[in-house]
Structure 1
């Protein structure tokens, strides 16, 4: 009986961790997309400030 409880707890931890990582990576991807989009807009709007790009 004790073993089953431990396995259940581990399973729950794993599931919570997976959910956390899914959310984390989804948020990170979204941030990355938004950041690169903002950067592109910024570079497009001010080419004179960025002669190297």
Structure 2
């Protein structure tokens, strides 16, 4: 189920350091990427419903 949580400093809690795992530090860029992925998934679903 759950694992151990990594301890965060005050600066990290407030977004001082860039996130690990290659995530972009810019919230606008993160949102743009999320919307792009959502659109791709929606297009794939629409294609499978039409039988393509």
Q: Provide the TM-score with structure 1 as the length reference.
A: 0.48
* Structure with bigger gyration radius: 1
Normalized against structure 2, the TM-score is what? 0.49
